[in-house]
Amino acid sequence: MASGGVFAYRLPLMRPTRTESSQAPLAKQIEEIVMSAPVTDIHTHLYDPAFKELLLWGVDDLLVYHYLVSESFRYLDLPYDRFWSLSKTAQADLIWDALFLQHSPVSEACRGVLTTLHALGLDVKKRDLPALRRWFASQTVDKHITRCMELAGLRKIFMTNSPFDDLERPVWEKGFRRDDRFATALRIDPLLVSWPETAPKLARWGYKVEAGVPPRQTFDEVRRFLADWTKRIGARYVMVSLPAGFEFPTRSITTQLIEQAVLPHCREYGLPFALMLGVKRATNPQLQLAGDGVGLSNLNVLQNLCAGYPDNKFLTTVLARENQHELCVLTRKFRNLHPFGCWWFTNVPCLIDEITRLRLELLGLSFTPQHSDARVLDQIVYKWQHSRRLIAQALVDKYADLAQTGWQVSRAEIERDVNDLFGGAFDRFCRS
């Protein structure tokens, strides 16, 4: 197979042993297993098809992905407002022109569009956007979900489910027949990062909460809210994304809500609390969703949570490259911590390669190397194809290192290990 990425380790230069000369078939076997093993995608922004237009798919949504919006503004010179006033098709036209026609689409997000289209059997070299649009217009959503999931090798897709989303909430309230390929995660950012605006909403929805200095009853009522939504959606974990600079514990309302409502709720329902740490929201608000940035997190926060609440489980991903090593070291100290994914700005090949190898070397197989964060259904195809290749390369090198000692792995052992990385370890962690 092809050699690893920029950070790939090389086997030491020594005379080939018998084990080394038989590496090629082993490498091929590992690659084959990793490329085809079913995956649970533990964090996406996709929706069960019952949510209708909330489930984004097709070439225009691929092109207006916020990762591409920010890249296109490196070249576009129209005012931000003008861009946002355009229709989705017109925005996609501009992005296609700037990122695919006027320059070669070498960034990871651009390459991803091409990987996806190619995997769907479309001819990208014609650079014919109207023809691509016609093809998508002739697809049905149900078939397209099946096709994309097959191409990505997914067995399950976790949604991000927010009771605070005015488009999503009424669908849950009305009820619908669930598609069992989609699992749920309860997302609670507004509760923890903007309590003064959120408290009146909870009050309107019938929970007896007070925004000022909340009495005990407020926390009980927040727990009742969390319990109602956990049951309503069948949540498998509770999730929040917290800004770089987040501190815990402090005397803030956020600390109180975490300590007195979220953590007791998670303990009661046996749910992990997923923390995504290190975002800087609205670094450039004019870019809207594309305007968030990254900052270093203080991982003492995580240490305080894991040590202070041993009966809680914490799933964690960190956005800053500089936090990745510390996260691994912390994970070695706390069994109630499970790192996952190469999130957002770290979801680029050179960092996936580096972070995955770092985790394998410090944690063995007790983590979840990747999630897609797909916002557009078709993106699962490229996000998983690209990541699988990097994970395969890292494993080839690791098993080759073992072979140097005379330790050989059987096919069944490789399959077991890959299954752990692709959802098995996550499932065990959630059940523990």
Binding interface with ligand RAT (CB under 6 A) = 45, 241, 276, 344, 373, 375
- The item of Zn ion, ligand RAT, none sharing an interface with residue 388, based on CB under 5 to 8 Å by kind, is none
- Closest to ligand RAT by CB, 357 vs 371, is 371
Residue 8 burial (C-beta neighbours within 10 Å; 0-12, 13-18, 19+): middle
Residues that contact Zn ion, how many (by CB under 5 A)? 1
Nearest-approach distance from CB 373 to Zn ion, in angstroms: 4
Residues 6+ apart with CB under 8 A from 364: none
Unique residue bearing structure tokens 């997000």: 109
- Closest to Zn ion by CB, 302 vs 374, is 374
- Give the binding range for Zn ion (CB under 5 A) out of 66-74, 202-210, 309-317, 372-380: 372-380
Number of C-beta neighbours around residue 308 at 10 A: 12
Range 58-73 burial, b when 16+ CB lie within 10 A, else e: bbbbbbbbbbbbbbbb
Q: Which of 373, 378, 397, 420 binds Zn ion (CB under 5 A)?
A: 373
- Closest to ligand RAT by CB, 149 vs 239, is 239
Residue 397 interacting with Zn ion (CB under 5 A): no
Residue 353 interacting with Zn ion (CB under 5 A): no
Residue 60 interacting with Zn ion (CB under 5 A): no
- Closest to ligand RAT by CB, 34 vs 159, is 159
- Closest to Zn ion by CB, 100 vs 340, is 340
Nearest-approach distance from CB 431 to ligand RAT, in angstroms: 24
**Cβ contact 331:338 at 8 Å:** yes
- Closest to Zn ion by CB, 117 vs 159, is 159
- Closest to ligand RAT by CB, 276 vs 395, is 276
Nearest-approach distance from CB 135 to ligand RAT, in angstroms: 25
- Closest to Zn ion by CB, 373 vs 397, is 373
Residues 6+ apart with CB under 8 A from 422: 37, 38, 39, 40
- The item of ligand RAT, Zn ion, none sharing an interface with residue 241, based on CB under 5 to 8 Å by kind, is ligand RAT
Q: How far apart, in whole angstroms, are the C-alpha atoms of residue 124 and residue 136? A: 14
- The item of ligand RAT, Zn ion, none sharing an interface with residue 265, based on CB under 5 to 8 Å by kind, is none
Q: How far apart, in whole angstroms, are the C-alpha atoms of residue 57 and residue 61? A: 6
- The item of Zn ion, ligand RAT, none sharing an interface with residue 344, based on CB under 5 to 8 Å by kind, is ligand RAT
Nearest-approach distance from CB 240 to ligand RAT, in angstroms: 9
- Coil vs helix vs strand at 20: helix
Write the DSSP string, 269-308: HT--EEEEEEEETTSSGGGGGGG-EE----THHHHHHHHH
162: Cα within 13 Å, side-chain hemisphere = 18
- Coil vs helix vs strand at 243: strand
- The item of Zn ion, ligand RAT, none sharing an interface with residue 41, based on CB under 5 to 8 Å by kind, is none
- The item of ligand RAT, Zn ion, none sharing an interface with residue 118, based on CB under 5 to 8 Å by kind, is none
**Cβ contact 341:43 at 8 Å:** yes
- The item of ligand RAT, Zn ion, none sharing an interface with residue 144, based on CB under 5 to 8 Å by kind, is none
Q: How far apart, in whole angstroms, are the C-alpha atoms of residue 429 and residue 432? A: 5
Within positions 223 to 242, which residues make up the interface with Zn ion, using CB under 5 A?
Answer: none
Residue 41 interacting with Zn ion (CB under 5 A): no
Nearest-approach distance from CB 47 to ligand RAT, in angstroms: 14
Q: Residue 404 to residues 24, 300, 399: CA-CA distances in angstroms?
A: 14, 38, 9
- Closest to Zn ion by CB, 41 vs 353, is 41
Q: Which amino acid belongs to residue 258?
A: I
Residue 326 interacting with Zn ion (CB under 5 A): no
The residues of the shown chain that bind Zn ion, judged by CB under 5 A, are 373
